[in-house]
Amino acid sequence: MSGSEPPMHATRRVELFDTTLRDGAQTAGISFSVKDKIRIAERLADFGIDWIEGGWPGASPKDDIFFEQMRKRNWNHSKLVAFGSTARPGHAVDKDRGLNRLIESGADAVCIFGKSWDVHVTTALSITLNENLALVYESVVYLKQHFDTVFFDAEHFFDGFEANANYALKVLEAAAKGGADTLVLCDTNGGSIPFSVFDIVTRVKQHLPDQTLGIHAHNDCEMSVANSVAAVRAGVQQVQGTINGVGERCGNANLISIIPILQLKAGVDCGISELQLTRLSSLSQFVNEMANRLPWQHQPFVGQNAFAHKGGIHVSAIRKQSNLYEHIDPALVGNDQRILVSDQAGRSNILSKLQQLEPDADIDPDNPMVAEALQRIKELEACGYAFEGADASFQLLLRRSMQRFKRHFELVRFRVFDEKRGHEESPESEATVQVRVGGKLKHAAALGNGPVNAMDKALRAALVDAYPGLETMFLTDFKVRVLTTREATEAAVRVLIESSDGQRKWNTVGVSTDVLEATYRALNDAIEYKLVIDQAPPPEAENV
């Protein structure tokens, strides 16, 4: 990019246009219910998104119900947008059912797309180039009679501009002449790169200097965020995208990344306050929950590992000054710094974890227990443990090293029966557990949906009288990994368990050549950790 590029100023305002509920809903594997869509829309409005595209009225009964129920919305800032297309060829615009459904939707604004790539006009629509210009102009004029705000998405604009720049610009001119408030340049196939996006947007700005422009980028080359930022640098005033980058094929531009990049890096005002920005991580998590998607742990800004540090040299540095290995303060986007512990850990990792556990404690870095804990961790990881994904097990290990852990129960024995009769019958699982709590022997048995579930239920049943808080505990995830495939069924396995009490989540790990023993070790840590965090202050010191 040349030195003549327009600078990004802190006083400049760029609008955010979210299309999670429309373009994002086209993601393979995602199916939002009407209730899901309403909840997401309300969360987006609470976050401060300017324009929330709710769907395409008439495209499905679900979208029709959504718009009908959204008539009761009470938003202070955000505006609801209905999506559609230009009128169909050969139909008068005032008789076009698609346009009239937009008008009847109850939305605050509309966004329609039209063809800007000449080959799409002649091949996909099978009309002349001039007929397409007339459709664009007349559709916008008609909608402007009913809405204060009309957005025009110039579909395939960047490909169209490369193929026939003169015609692509004529399409924009037709929409502008019709009264479109923002002309959105779409990289529909997701094949553009930032250099060409910047150059083309610059040329459009020179051609239409008084027209508000937007960018709508897809991620087929993993360039959608970069393309959107390049377009803002070239002068667009609106960015369209989705939460977590969901969308058809490889997805859309990810607003979760674009917002902090523009506000924290480029000095561009997206209309999101500092307080709202701290809710970015929770917004990302919420939409993942609604979409029934596992979060991407390495997602920039908001992922669980976005500010995770594993190497001892890195941890040593961030203990002195966090920005030595962190590009922003994670708290700005509602995330947290994580110190991982593994066979690559150093003394600094241990000290950082100890300080997280005991923030008010005066910890001597030369204390022998630090070296002992480090050595024990490396020994366990050599056996297959992975503490970087099991913080709760790691914290219990540290508490034992610090002699600040009191075992809440002792296992006497457990037994698991798994019986299957015939090929078609479902297996039956039963577990019996004996534990000693405070000198008293407790016994429980439970049926379960598989041996792991049976063991979990039996163990908690044996303990719940002594520790009623376990009633709220349940497993939310269970993973098994074979550690040495060469040994086939004799191989050691690692079990990772995620548990929750409805308010908190924690992860524990167990390793053994016996999958049930590995499961028990992870379950034992999960229960012990729950009992530890439920108690304040910690139990009195006791060697275990």
DSSP notation for 482-512: ES-GGGGGGS-EEEEEEEE-SS-EEEEEEEE
Q: Which residues contact 364 (CB under 8 A, 6 or more apart)?
A: none
What is the Cα–Cα distance from 24 to 252, expressed in whole angstroms? 7
> Is the alpha carbon torsion for 456, 458, 463, 465 positive or negative?
positive
360: its two tokens:
């008010």
What is the Cα–Cα distance from 72 to 41, expressed in whole angstroms? 13
Burial of residue 205, with CB atoms counted within 10 A of its CB: 0-12 exposed, 13-18 middle, 19 or more buried:
middle
Q: Is residue 151 within 8 Å of 187, Cβ to Cβ? A: no
The answer to whether position 29 is within a domain reads: yes
What is the Cα–Cα distance from 264 to 363, expressed in whole angstroms? 35
What is the Cα–Cα distance from 290 to 178, expressed in whole angstroms? 38
290: its two tokens:
């609604």
Cα–Cα distances (Å) from 243 to 119, 224, 226, 252, 285, in that order, read 32, 13, 16, 9, 10
438: its two tokens:
């405070």
First-last CA distance in the chain: 64
Residues in the chain: 544
Q: Which residue has the tokens 């309300």?
A: 42
Q: What is the pLDDT of residue 537?
A: 32
Instruction: Give me the half-sphere count of Cα atoms (radius 13 Å) on the Cβ side of residue 474.
Output: 5
Report helix, strand or coil for 343: coil
**CATH number, domain with residue 218:** 3.20.20.70
What is the Cα–Cα distance from 188 to 124, expressed in whole angstroms? 15
Q: Which residue has the tokens 């002449």?
A: 177
Each residue's pLDDT expressed in tens, for the chain with a length of 544 residues: 444 444 554 468 999 999 999 999 999 999 999 989 999 999 999 999 999 999 999 999 999 999 999 999 999 999 999 999 999 998 899 999 999 999 999 999 999 999 999 999 999 999 999 999 999 999 999 999 999 999 999 999 999 999 999 999 999 999 999 999 999 999 999 999 999 999 999 999 999 999 999 999 999 999 999 999 999 999 999 999 999 999 999 999 999 999 999 999 999 999 999 999 999 998 998 898 788 787 898 999 999 888 877 666 665 676 667 777 789 999 899 987 766 655 455 555 566 656 655 555 566 667 777 777 777 777 777 777 767 567 788 888 877 877 777 889 999 999 999 888 888 888 899 999 999 998 889 999 999 988 989 999 999 999 999 999 999 999 888 888 787 656 566 678 888 888 999 888 888 989 998 889 999 999 999 999 999 888 733 334 333 3
The count of domains in the chain is 2
DSSP 450: S
Q: Is residue 457 within 8 Å of 448, Cβ to Cβ? A: yes
Element at 54 (helix H, strand E): strand 51-55
The answer to whether position 537 is within a domain reads: no
176: its two tokens:
């502008």
What is the Cα–Cα distance from 415 to 463, expressed in whole angstroms? 16
What is the Cα–Cα distance from 323 to 350, expressed in whole angstroms? 20
What is the Cα–Cα distance from 96 to 529, expressed in whole angstroms? 63
The answer to whether position 479 is within a domain reads: no
Listed residues 252, 272, 292: the one ending a domain: 272
Neighbours of 305 (CB within 10 A): 15
Instruction: Give me the half-sphere count of Cα atoms (radius 13 Å) on the Cβ side of residue 62.
Output: 13
**In one letter, which amino acid is 168?**
A
Q: Is residue 337 within 8 Å of 330, Cβ to Cβ? A: yes
Q: Is residue 288 within 8 Å of 294, Cβ to Cβ? A: yes
Are 266 and 414 in the same domain? no
What is the Cα–Cα distance from 47 to 77, expressed in whole angstroms? 10
516 phi, psi to nearest 5 deg:
-75, -35
Q: What is the pLDDT of residue 407?
A: 86
Element at 130 (helix H, strand E): helix 129-144
Helix axes 61-69, 34-47, angle to 10 degrees: 50
Listed residues 466, 495, 511: the one ending a domain: 466
Q: What is the pLDDT of residue 422?
A: 85
111 phi, psi to nearest 5 deg:
-130, 120
Give the domain range for residue 436. Answer: 409-466
The answer to whether position 334 is within a domain reads: no
60 phi, psi to nearest 5 deg:
-160, 155
DSSP 11: T
Tell me the helix, strand and coil percentages in the chain, rounded to 5: 45, 20, 35
What is the Cα–Cα distance from 271 to 262, expressed in whole angstroms? 11
What is the Cα–Cα distance from 144 to 236, expressed in whole angstroms? 22
What is the Cα–Cα distance from 31 to 291, expressed in whole angstroms? 7
Let me know the angle formed at the C-alpha of 107 by 32 and 37, rounded to the nearest 5 degrees. 15
The answer to whether position 136 is within a domain reads: yes
DSSP 539: P
CA-closest candidate to residue 544, choices 416, 432, 423, 409: 409
The answer to whether position 402 is within a domain reads: no
The answer to whether position 525 is within a domain reads: no
Q: Which residue has the tokens 């609106």?
A: 238
Q: What is the pTM of this model?
A: 0.70
CA-closest candidate to residue 252, choices 19, 30, 14, 80: 19
Cα–Cα distances (Å) from 213 to 204, 272, 367, in that order, read 9, 20, 62
What is the Cα–Cα distance from 426 to 459, expressed in whole angstroms? 23
The answer to whether position 285 is within a domain reads: no
